[in-house]
């Protein structure tokens, strides 16, 4: 697996990069990839099928200048910004392999990520080790409080599985800018954002290191689809027709 630690200048470019990596793998049979990025800008990202007006406090976003974007994968609406570590996995789909179905891919990837994060708390210096659980289908949580949400998009030969780790994010903003989700996992039990979310309070480099080890992504990706990223960022992810549809 190849490693790409790349944060691009704009939210549109960062969202486009994940899709471009998926397209490159599916169309060209390229390498599997683990990518990391961290946003310097606060922005909202709705899932592919989300209705913006239902999931987002649009007036509050407008008043504070927070832009709204849409990603290519499903799942719920999230808030991005400093203190969030984002990752993406572009994995090959093979007959009989761990990514052969949506469910098997979820189980395979989430368990590997869960074990990797839990390993960060095993040293004596870490004190009491928290029990990290896979909650819902694609959340990671401690004591019922979510610190990572994830989603998946599949093509014929490759899939994109990407998500966010809340490390030191301003969680107060979530309640101000996002409405209660129209769909929520049972374990949330209708809790507000402030009672449901938590930060891991870890340094991003530590999380990156443990995931790199877990996914054996030691070799850097030499070539990334720069032209496709720019095209998608301009024509899709920066366009209201895409971001504000539905």
User: Per the structure block, which two tokens stand in for 85?
Assistant: 């570590």
User: Per the structure block, which two tokens stand in for 204?
Assistant: 């991003």
Q: What are phi and psi of 5, to 5 degrees?
A: -100, 95
Say yes or no to pLDDT of 174 above 90. Answer: yes
State the pLDDT confidence band at 222, using cuts at 50, 70 and 90: confident
**Rounded Cα distance, 119 and 37, in Å:** 22
pLDDT top residue among 222 and 52: 52
Q: What are phi and psi of 228, to 5 degrees?
A: -65, -35
Is 152:203 a contact under the CB 8 Å cutoff? no
Edge-to-edge strands of the sheet including 43-46? 68-70, 43-46, 78-80
User: Per the structure block, which two tokens stand in for 233?
Assistant: 């960022």
Looking at every residue in the chain, the average pLDDT score rounds to 94
Q: pLDDT tens digits for 5-16? A: 999 999 999 999
Say yes or no to pLDDT of 50 above 80. Answer: yes
Q: What is the mean pLDDT of residues 86-107?
A: 96
* Inter-CA distances, 159 with 41, 88, 126, 146, 151, Å: 27, 10, 35, 24, 11
What phi-psi label fits residue 222: left (phi over 0), alpha (psi between -120 and 50 degrees) or beta?
Answer: alpha
What percentage of the chain has pLDDT greater than the value 70? 97
What percentage of the chain has pLDDT greater than the value 90? 91
pTM: predicted TM-score of the whole model, two decimal places: 0.94
User: Per the structure block, which two tokens stand in for 101?
Assistant: 């179905």
Say yes or no to pLDDT of 126 above 60. Answer: no
Q: What are phi and psi of 179, to 5 degrees?
A: -80, 170
Is 207:10 a contact under the CB 8 Å cutoff? no
* DSSP-derived secondary structure letter, 63: H
Q: What is the mean pLDDT of residues 137-149?
A: 96
Of the CATH numbers 3.30.70.990, 2.30.40.10, 3.30.930.10, 3.40.50.300, which one belongs to the domain with range 2-232? 3.30.930.10
């Amino acid at each position: 697996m190849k490693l790409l630690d790349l944060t691009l200048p704009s939210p549109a470019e960062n969202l486009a990069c994940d899709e471009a990596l998926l397209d490159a793998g599916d169309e060209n049979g390229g390498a599997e990839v683990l990518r990391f990025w961290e946003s310097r800008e606060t922005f909202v990202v709705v899932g592919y099928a989300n209705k913006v007006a239902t999931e987002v406090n649009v007036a509050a976003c407008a008043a504070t200048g927070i832009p709204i974007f849409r990603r290519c994968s499903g799942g719920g609406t999230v808030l991005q910004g400093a203190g969030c570590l984002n990752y993406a996995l572009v994995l090959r789909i093979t007959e009989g392999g761990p990514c052969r179905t949506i469910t098997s891919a979820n189980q395979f990837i989430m368990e590997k990520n869960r074990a990797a994060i839990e390993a960060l708390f095993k040293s004596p210096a870490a004190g009491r080790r928290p029990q990290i659980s896979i909650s819902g289908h694609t959340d990671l949580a401690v004591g019922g409080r979510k610190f990572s949400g994830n989603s998946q998009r599949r093509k014929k030969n490759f899939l994109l599985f990407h998500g966010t780790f809340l490390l030191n994010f301003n969680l107060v903003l979530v309640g101000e800018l996002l409405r209660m989700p129209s769909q929520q996992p049972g374990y949330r039990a209708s809790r507000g954002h402030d009672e449901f979310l938590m930060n891991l309070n870890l340094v991003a480099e530590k999380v990156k290191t443990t995931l790199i080890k877990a996914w054996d992504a030691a070799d850097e990706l030499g070539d990334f689809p720069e032209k496709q990223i720019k095209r998608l960022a301009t024509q899709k992810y920066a366009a209201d027709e895409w971001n504000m549809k539905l």
